[in-house]
Amino acid sequence: MPVNTLAKSPVSKRAGAFDSSGIRKVFDLAAQLDDPINLSIGQPDFPMPEPACVAAKAAIDAGKNGYTPTQGIAPLRERLEAEVRRETGQSERRLCVTSGSSGGLALSLMSLIDPGDEVIIFEPAFVMYRPLVEFLGGRCVAIDTAPTFGIDVDRVAAAITPRTKVILLNTPANPTGVVIDAATVADLARLAESRGVTLVSDELYRSYCYDAPFSSPALHSDRVVVIDGFSKSHAMTGWRVGWVHGPREIINACTMLQQYTFVCAPQVGQWAAIAALDAAMDAPLAECRRKRDRLMAGLAGRFRFVRPGGAFYLYPEAPGGSGLAFAERAVAEEKLLVVPGTVFGAADSHFRIAYTVTDAMLDRGIAALNRLAESYG
């Protein structure tokens, strides 16, 4: 039978507009290399807490493998909600357990954005933000935060228009590791509330604050929507347990939309998460701080970078001026995998290093990076 070459693609325009994540491409490349120096994938290198492992095994043995209520099992949801209300002082704040923090982000934006609405993001930004907003028919208004990667609230105020629906904040930030100071966070929350804009705060890295305490905008406005999860804080990336909390009407919308999309977070992961909440995490988080300091000391003098106050990333300027060209050379000459800044925004000036690896791998990476820097003269 002849093939109709003029036939329309079966793939929707929305799906066709997506490209595979640049980080995922690096991950696939790593699988093809023999003994690469992989500083590309941002996930903890410490084990999931033993109490959480025990709880997960017990849940499996008890046959807790089916669906849960859409909003999450009551013991987990109620405990998280109680902690959130205690921290914020907002007794009416509601919470929904989601399929990872990415699920929480998707549900939040689905609940808030209509086609044509504008969303303010701060670039460089997490790779999901822009594609997800545009998939929903929204328009990203990007504020370039270079060179300090801080936030100027006056610039945010100037960017707000009658079409602005959401401001999307991430602190500590991926990819820069920058932690926004408490005063700026408070000002941003108050600005959003005063202008009738919803501030969505991605707080997945909140436990990784090395130099100053974490400050949530939800402390300053009951209209803030917060996204969080267990992936980074408790090394549970594969279990897909996150949560979103905020005003009742928004969380109700998230819960309804989850019913028709993700259905619920995986049940076994939810039981593991309850046990994880009681696990002591000071030691692995101190290790992350130590590795940050080891990396910064190893690259000092050859690379320029903003000191990261949190998360587990360093975001140096690329020798030669192009992060993409530098990342390509790193693979070709050193089998070193880093992520170019073009993955996170329009600027091609930096690259991201994820330092949650063994000391041996980190030292190999430092040596390779310095050799590359020296080759630029």
Note whether 192 and 307 are same-domain residues.
no
Note whether 38 and 63 are same-domain residues.
no
Distances from the Cα of 230 to the Cαs of 42, 219, 269, in angstroms?
Answer: 14, 21, 10
Looking at residue 9, what DSSP letter applies?
P
Distances from the Cα of 353 to the Cαs of 29, 106, 206, 318, 356, in angstroms?
Answer: 16, 26, 19, 11, 9
Bridge partner list, 228? 243
Q: Assess if residue 9 is contained within a domain.
A: no
Note whether 195 and 68 are same-domain residues.
yes
Note whether 196 and 305 are same-domain residues.
no
Choose the final residue of a domain: 276, 302, 319.
276
- Give the integer Cα–Cα distance in Å for 134 and 16: 12
Residues 6+ apart with CB under 8 A from 246: 93, 94, 108, 218, 223, 224, 225, 226
Encode pLDDT of 151-206 as tens digits: 999 999 999 999 999 999 999 999 999 999 999 999 999 999 999 999 999 999 99
Note whether 306 and 216 are same-domain residues.
no
Note whether 211 and 259 are same-domain residues.
yes
Encode pLDDT of 199-250 as tens digits: 999 999 999 999 999 999 999 999 999 999 999 999 999 999 999 999 999 9
Note whether 355 and 213 are same-domain residues.
no
- Is the backbone peptide bond immediately before 124 cis, with ω within 30 degrees of 0? yes
Neighbouring CB atoms inside 10 A of 256's CB total 15
Note whether 103 and 66 are same-domain residues.
yes
Note whether 148 and 211 are same-domain residues.
yes
* 3-state class (DSSP) for residue 27: helix
Note whether 243 and 266 are same-domain residues.
yes
Q: Assess if residue 4 is contained within a domain.
A: no
- Per-residue pLDDT tens, the chain, 377 aa: give them: 555 555 678 888 777 777 755 556 666 666 777 889 999 988 999 999 999 999 999 999 999 999 999 999 999 999 999 999 999 999 999 999 999 999 999 999 999 999 999 999 999 999 999 999 999 999 999 999 999 999 999 999 999 999 999 999 999 999 999 999 999 999 999 999 999 999 999 999 999 999 999 999 999 999 999 999 999 999 999 999 999 999 999 999 999 999 999 999 999 999 999 999 999 999 999 999 999 999 999 999 999 999 999 999 999 999 999 999 999 999 999 999 999 999 999 999 999 999 999 999 999 999 999 999 999 87
Q: What are phi and psi of 298, to 5 degrees?
A: -70, -30
Token pair 């993409």: residue: 324
Choose the final residue of a domain: 276, 298, 329.
276
- Give the integer Cα–Cα distance in Å for 255 and 97: 9
- Is the backbone peptide bond immediately before 308 cis, with ω within 30 degrees of 0? no
Q: Which long-range contacts (CB under 8 A, 24 or more apart) does 59-67 make?
A: 59/267, 59/268, 59/271, 59/272, 60/268, 64/267, 64/268, 64/271, 65/267, 65/268, 66/267, 67/263, 67/264, 67/267
For the record, the structure tokens of 230 come out as 């267990």
| The total number of structural domains that make up the chain | 2
Give the domain extent around 308: 14-43+281-375
